[in-house]
Amino acid sequence: MHEIFEEITRPSWKRVRFWITAILSVLLVSYFIYFKLVLVDGDLSAEELKSSVEFFNISSQWIEKGKVEDSDFKGIIMVPQISFQVRNTGKKLMKNIYILGVFRRLYIGKAMGEGFRITMKKGVSPGKVSDIIIINSAFGYRTKSKESFKRVSSVWGKTLVEIYVKSTRSHLFFIKSFYIRQIIEGMAKEVRIK
């Protein structure tokens, strides 16, 4: 009984409940400050992101994505690939940027596949350059070999990729499109489309 009265008569700053409440309050306020400064104010809006992105060192080709070992078909899957770097031309740090590539046949317009990357996890400061970003289509063409794929270039030939970007605070928006070169990974020359 004596212990209960001692807890009640003790000054509030000496009670355990006071310190638990104080520590939790400080942690909660710190979290909200961090959230506001880093995640909300530090992130780019759609307009800021669009004006901050400059593509360079762009390369594209067709690559072998995998092997197919079905009972009715044995061969490989060929998909388009694009790689590039991004220069931050803006005034804010670019961080955690979602990049979506939609691959389309040039004259048909129908999407043949898409691929995405969440990039710049460590951030790219203004004036600095990102690592190389590689995006492969999730879907492609089944073929017996790279040589047989080369022979049917009229089927896969003229392809482009539309690049869409998004930051944490912005919506997904179109930024640029690029043609996919008619180069097959591991083959020396560009394929001529008839």
Task: Give the residue, 88 or 19, on which the prediction is more confident.
Answer: 88
85-90-94 Cα angle (round to 5): 60
One domain, residues 145 and 97: yes
One domain, residues 67 and 9: no
Close Cβ partners of 101 (under 8 Å, ≥ 6 residues apart)? 82, 114, 115, 116, 135, 137, 161, 162, 163, 164
pLDDT at 1 over 70: no
74-78-80 Cα angle (round to 5): 170
One domain, residues 118 and 35: no
Position 185 scores a pLDDT of 87
Percentage of the chain beyond pLDDT 70 is 85
One domain, residues 106 and 151: yes
Task: Give the residue, 155 or 90, on which the prediction is more confident.
Answer: 90
One domain, residues 6 and 59: no
Give the dihedral sign, CA 86/87/92/95.
positive
Query: 160: pLDDT confidence band, cut at 50, 70 and 90?
Result: very high
One domain, residues 109 and 162: yes
How do residues 3-12 score in pLDDT, each as one tens digit? 655 556 666 6
One domain, residues 78 and 139: yes
Say if 104 falls within a structural domain.
yes
The answer to whether the beta carbons of residues 182 and 153 sit under 8 Å apart is yes
One domain, residues 32 and 73: no
Say if 120 falls within a structural domain.
yes
> In terms of DSSP H, where are the helices of the chain?
2-9, 16-34, 46-52, 146-151, 153-156
Say if 11 falls within a structural domain.
yes
The answer to whether the beta carbons of residues 101 and 79 sit under 8 Å apart is no
One domain, residues 98 and 159: yes
pLDDT at 116 over 90: yes
Average pLDDT over residues 28-37: 76
One domain, residues 123 and 29: no
Domain of residue 6 covers 2-40
Position 148 scores a pLDDT of 84
Residue 86: CATH number of its domain: 2.60.40.10
Quote the number of domains for the chain: 2
